[in-house]
Structure 1
Amino acid sequence: MTPIRVLLADNHTLVRAGLRALLESLDAVQVVAEANDGREALRLIEAHRPDVVLMDVAMPEMNGLEATARVVKEFPAVRVIILSMHANEEYVLQALRAGAGGYVLKDSGVNELELALRSVSKGDTYLSPAVSKHVVSDYVRRIGGESSSPSQLTPRQREILQLLAQGRSVKEIAPLLHISVKTVETHRAQLMERLNIHDVAGLVRYAIRMGLITPED
């Protein structure tokens, strides 16, 4: 049997080590690389072309939702499973909109993770039973869009939102994204207007509420 080639993306070293040990205990599963954040995940995906990425949500530099959207666009053959502690509809909705093929809770059992990997690698969608029942109907009902969702922002605006919320200054963000300070300021003004939030503290609270960063970030 051809092994399912998996890339791990999580900024916690011990979590990655635990996941690697767990996955390597399964038949026909091979861990090909580990990433500490979304940007590194994209670079390693290009290098290793895994079948499935196990993606944490709250990571520095680029969160898992933004990275998932990039993976879906740039590497359509690669499937993504979001690993999360959150079972509420908002988090799952964001993952589905980003293009994730699966959503698995971090307290799930080994058998469930194995089932998710096998399902998603075949092109199916997998949601943890704890969230799937009410989330699917909620997703269909709300797919038209909602004012509080990060999906209303452009990918660049979401990227800048996360970096601002993590305490980066405009002058720090510009070289990181290879754009001018003026362009960063323009994006910041546009996302503040779109979200109707007019200070950085408000952006931080919004980013935490939407799961783009954690309070510890």
Structure 2
Amino acid sequence: MIRILLAEDQAMVRQGLKMMIETDSEMRVTGEAGSGKDAVKLCESHAFDIIVLDIRMPEMNGLEAARIIRTRWPQCKVLMLTTFNDEQYALEALKLGANGYMLKDAEPEALIRSIRSCLAGGLALQDDVAAKIIPQLLRGTGEKQQVDASITPRELAIIRQVGVGRSNLEIASELGLSVGTVKNHLSQVMDKLDLRDRTQLAIYAIRHGIV
């Protein structure tokens, strides 16, 4: 069973989202929160596989909650779900370690696919969100920076796959490796580059012209 924490301050919206998510027989909303602060508190006492966070909530917004959750419980995936199709919100969420950014008007099937993609190690972005933020990432801060000299050709190939949003299983299939080998390479790469998570690695790949 996939354990999901759903954080949304409007109770009716939260119940609607819960019903959508639980149309998948493998998914259960095992925690509900009405604020970012409550979401963090629930993470202290319960284990979740993925946290679905609204951005604008009282007491503590979803972005701050995402930062705390990804820092304290890095094994938990975070999917931002919001009404705001704003590239700055999306960029900030990804920089803080969110594994995906979806809009509340997404179809139930798209939401469920996004949850599964995050859990599989992918980067879940709704198409119209991606259309706004990818150009921002490509622009970066100007001239492309050089890739760290310690990165091997195999590691570079894996970074490229992460940059285009592929999961560990897809990378393994594409490069003819085991999933375990891919995970080991990713761990080594993130140590070398001093990156916290896969999302930061994807941004690194784009800003350094790897993809």
- Normalised-by-shorter TM-score class: 0.5 to 0.7
Secondary structure in 2 matching 1:31: strand
In the aligned structure 1, how far is the partner of 2:71 from the partner of 2:47? 14
Residue 162 of structure 1 is matched in structure 2 by: none
In the aligned structure 2, how far is the partner of 1:4 from the partner of 1:139? 31
Secondary structure in 1 matching 2:75: coil
Residue 148 of structure 2 is matched in structure 1 by: none
- Does 1:11 find its partner at 2:2? no
> TM-score, structure 1 length as denominator?
0.62
Tell me, yes or no, if the aligned pair for 1:39 and 1:67 is still in contact at 8 Å: yes
Q: What amino acid maps onto 1:5 in structure 2?
A: R
Residue 127 of structure 1 is matched in structure 2 by: 125
Q: What amino acid maps onto 2:58 in structure 1?
A: P
Among 17, 30, 33, the residue aligned to 2:31 = 33
Alignment RMSD: 1.4
Residue 206 of structure 2 is matched in structure 1 by: none
Greater shift, 32-41 or 128-137, is seen at 128-137
Tell me, yes or no, if the aligned pair for 1:4 and 1:121 is still in contact at 8 Å: no
Residue 180 of structure 1 is matched in structure 2 by: none
In the aligned structure 1, how far is the partner of 2:141 from the partner of 2:36? 25
In the aligned structure 2, how far is the partner of 1:143 from the partner of 1:17? 41
Among 31, 52, 68, the residue aligned to 2:50 = 52
Secondary structure in 2 matching 1:103: strand
CA gap of 1:62–1:133, structure 2 versus 1, over 3 A, is same
Would you say how many aligned residue pairs link Structure 1 and Structure 2? Answer: 142
Alignment of 1:162-181 (within 5 A): none
Q: What amino acid maps onto 2:56 in structure 1?
A: A
Give deviations 1:127-179, integer Å, cap 9, x for gaps: 001111341231243369xxxxxxxxxxxxxxxxxxxxxxxxxxxxxxxxxxx
In the aligned structure 2, how far is the partner of 1:130 from the partner of 1:5? 28
Query: 1:21 Cα shift?
Result: 1.3
Q: What amino acid maps onto 1:101 in structure 2?
A: N
Runs of 4+ in 1 over 2 A off after TM superposition: 139-144
Alignment of 1:36-185 (within 5 A): 36-142=34-140
